[in-house]
Amino acid sequence: MNKRTLGRSGIAIAPLVFGGNVFGWTADQNRSFELLDRFVERGFNAIDTADLYSAWAAGHRGGESETILGQWLARRGRRDDIVLMTKVGMWEPRKGLSARNIELAVEDSLKRLGTDYIDVYFAHIDDQEVLLEETLAAFDKLVKSGKVRAIGASNYSAERLRQALAVSKASGLARYEVIQPRYNLHDREDFESGLAELAQQEEIGVVSFFSLASGFLSGKYRSLDDAKGKARESFVQGYFTERGQRVLKELLAVSEELSVPPVQTALAWLLSRPGVTAPIASATSVTQLDEVLDAVDVSIPEPLLARLTEASRT
């Protein structure tokens, strides 16, 4: 497995990250263990979660994903084989990026995960009510203590990321080595309008979330009716627009020409984009997971890449 380095962190990951939002939500403990076993068996090593997951689900409080992942790590003894990513700042009981909240949240996450260190600890949001100096100093303390190997930023604009990098440089603090933007064949503007260029200039790793647009780019949902009653109905309904249908139509056409599933075409397109280290993608069955992981072996010829890129322009 050819691995890619996350920024200047020295942390190397396989080119697809498992999205752990499904653990304890659409995948129970047994299924989650089965998926994780298959993931590492195939040679992949990076797993993304958050303290928030899966607080949005009925009857859930948050922390479910980290708890199940921690149980798997303990059961399998695979901690040293895994690049573990989690986040702070969006979950209501531990909301925001104040120094005190980060200090408390990391201990909670470490306990749920059953580990004494996190490989990449993300600011899940950009908390503009807290000075960047305070947030970055808190993260720097965690890096110096060995509880965190590298820090990352999710949902940051290019301007705020630029400001954060300047603060880290001026104050000698750990800098954001990884960003986690919303980026896929349909949702391109936020990343491509500034973050992509900045990440390349500053040698920052990029792991994209919503890489399959919550399943819309899997080809499973050809209409709103297909999504009705499904766990992801509320996530995908916004994609059924004229532009969304245009993107999906071209994705399906290119996939047919390549003789591969749409999931693999959508992920292979992301893997071809400048600056992208690894997309995050999830699955709820071993069959789905294998389909996702096979995307790393798909090469899209330039003319077909151009068709996808043109069809998804805003």
DSSP states of 148-171: EEEEEEES--HHHHHHHHHHHHHH
- Please say if 239 is a catalytic residue: no
3-state secondary structure of 35: helix
Residue with tokens 């040293």: 80
DSSP character for 48?
Answer: E
Of the candidates 177, 227, 185, which has an alpha carbon nearest to the alpha carbon of residue 210?
185
Give the ranges where the chain is alpha helix by DSSP (H): 29-41, 64-76, 99-113, 132-145, 158-171, 189-190, 196-201, 224-227, 233-236, 242-258, 262-271, 286-293, 302-311
d(CA 131, CA 13) in angstroms, rounded, equals 31
- Kindly name the residue from 53, 156, 221, 239 that is annotated as catalytic: 53
For the annotated catalytic residues, the residue numbers are 53
